[in-house]
């Protein structure tokens, strides 16, 4: 067991640290002459150019990778993307046509609801592209096209490295589709792809925040409840951070779109309640900070996850966790690191079973 954990105390920590390599192994073979190349699965530039609409369907953490995909694809490829939780998608009679592409995302490739979504897409005449980690799994076998993520086996129930590799595939897809649809030229596509290729090294550098995350976690262990807030891509990451924390530490937490707080949730804020503000998106920074100020003035203990060098006015932030600054669109690849580490250390400090939280299964093969 100790050998399998490669010197780490838990699989989760090992898997967090495997992310630079997992991402590198996933993206490197798919960058040819500086351009993204997903032709291995039969996804041609011509096909990418012609899809009317994309549906991304998944469960849990894989769905959050889909949320990141939606923001990035819509921003760069100017194509409408709908993200669905698979258990909702399968019963809502979605309006899918044969001109659409349904993308299912799954670490295990065996999740029952995600598999049902795939069947539904086929019934409606749409092609299915799957982004799957486990080779030869049911979802991979039944899809029209598969892009395997190369994270290697993920043992810890809380998904970490699978999320990063799923996001990395979303970026390749977004860049290639943006190019295919003529929204970016070859130079810009190469520039973005080169930035993505730098990410594994920068994730490694991001790990330097580990000590700080452990310290911040020591402040969270007595909390009854906490909030994660953010806007845009930071909101998608808030969702993932919140899920990670609650599933293993058993501390109730909610993620909220920062601007929506004042429509209800802010009434929960009382003295000492931790609020984690994810604030990496330059254009939205001022807006998110104004929401952090609102919770601070109601007594919240405020933690910011932000780019290095971000300056806040005096008294707004109790603890800031800085990550290296990349261009906004790629920040989720780095932002996720402290969010995973906070969930991990909070759980360890509470003395709970990090790798096998109660009531949860690694793969949910029944409805």
Strand bridging mode 274-279 / 319-323: unpaired
| Chain centroid, CA 321 distance in Å | 18
Cα torsion at 364, 330, 234, 78 (round to 10°)? -90
CB of 191 to ligand G6P, least distance (A): 31
The residue (of 194 and 360) whose beta carbon lies closer to ligand G6P is 360
CB of 365 to ligand G6P, least distance (A): 9
Query: Catalytic residue among 24, 181, 212, 362, which?
Result: 362
181: region left, alpha or beta (phi > 0 left; psi from -120 to 50 alpha)? alpha
**Number of neighbours of residue 114 by Cβ within 10 angstroms:** 29
Reply yes or no on whether 362 is catalytic. yes
Here the tokens at position 287 are 């807006």
The residue (of 324 and 357) whose beta carbon lies closer to ligand G6P is 357
The residue (of 60 and 232) whose beta carbon lies closer to ligand G6P is 60
Of 71, 69, 43, which is closest to residue 58 (Cα–Cα)? 69
CB of 49 to ligand G6P, least distance (A): 29
The residue (of 116 and 316) whose beta carbon lies closer to ligand G6P is 116
Of 281, 161, 273, which is closest to residue 228 (Cα–Cα)? 273
Give the Cα separation of 326 and 330 in Å (integer). Answer: 7
Going from the C-alpha of 208 to that of each of 202, 204, 213, 263, 326, the distances in angstroms are 10, 8, 10, 37, 16
- For ligand G6P, the binding residues (CB under 6 A) are 59-62, 106-108, 111, 114, 157, 159, 360, 362-364
CB of 243 to ligand G6P, least distance (A): 8
Q: Which residue is nearest to ligand G6P (CB)?
A: 60
The residue (of 41 and 364) whose beta carbon lies closer to ligand G6P is 364
- The CB-side HSE value for 272 (13 A sphere, CA atoms) comes to 6
∠ Cα 16 18 21 (to 5°) = 140
CB of 226 to ligand G6P, least distance (A): 20
79 near 73, Cβ under 8 Å? yes
CB of 153 to ligand G6P, least distance (A): 12
Of 317, 233, 311, which is closest to residue 275 (Cα–Cα)? 317
The residue (of 35 and 112) whose beta carbon lies closer to ligand G6P is 112
List, by residue number, the catalytic residues. 362
């Amino acid at each position: 067991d100790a050998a399998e954990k490669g010197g780490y105390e838990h699989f989760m920590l090992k898997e967090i640290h495997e992310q630079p390599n997992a991402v590198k192994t996933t993206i490197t073979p798919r960058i040819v002459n500086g351009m993204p190349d997903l032709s291995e699965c039969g996804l041609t530039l011509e096909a990418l150019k012609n899809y009317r609409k994309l549906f991304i369907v998944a469960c849990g953490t894989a769905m959050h990778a889909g949320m990141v995909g939606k923001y990035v694809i819509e921003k760069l490829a100017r194509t409408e993307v709908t993200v669905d939780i698979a258990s909702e998608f399968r019963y809502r009679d979605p309006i899918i046509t044969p001109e659409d592409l349904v993308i299912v995302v799954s670490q295990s490739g065996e999740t029952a609801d995600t598999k049902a979504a795939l069947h539904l897409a086929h019934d409606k005449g749409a092609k299915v592209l799957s982004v799957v980690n486990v080779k030869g799994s049911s979802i991979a076998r039944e899809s029209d096209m598969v892009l395997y993520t190369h994270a290697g086996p993920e043992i810890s129930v809380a998904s970490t490295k699978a999320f990063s590799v799923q996001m990395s595939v979303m970026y390749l897809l977004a860049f290639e589709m943006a190019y295919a649809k003529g929204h970016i030229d070859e130079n810009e596509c190469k520039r973005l792809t080169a930035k993505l290729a730098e990410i594994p090294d920068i994730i490694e550098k991001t790990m330097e925040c580990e000590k700080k995350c452990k310290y911040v976690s020591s402040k969270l262990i007595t909390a009854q409840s906490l909030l994660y807030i953010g806007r845009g891509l930071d909101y998608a990451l808030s969702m993932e951070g919140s899920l990670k924390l609650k599933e293993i530490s058993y501390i109730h937490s909610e993620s909220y779109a920062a601007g929506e707080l004042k429509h209800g949730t802010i009434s929960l804020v009382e003295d000492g309640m931790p609020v984690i503000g994810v604030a990496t998106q330059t254009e939205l920074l001022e807006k998110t900070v104004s929401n952090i100020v609102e919770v601070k003035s109601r007594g919240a203990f405020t933690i910011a996850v932000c780019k290095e060098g971000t300056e806040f006015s005096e008294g707004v932030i109790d603890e800031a966790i800085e990550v290296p600054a990349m261009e906004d669109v790629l920040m989720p690849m780095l932002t996720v690191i402290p969010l995973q580490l906070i969930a991990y250390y909070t759980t360890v400090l509470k003395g709970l079973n990090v790798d096998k939280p109660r009531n949860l299964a690694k793969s949910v093969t029944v409805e």
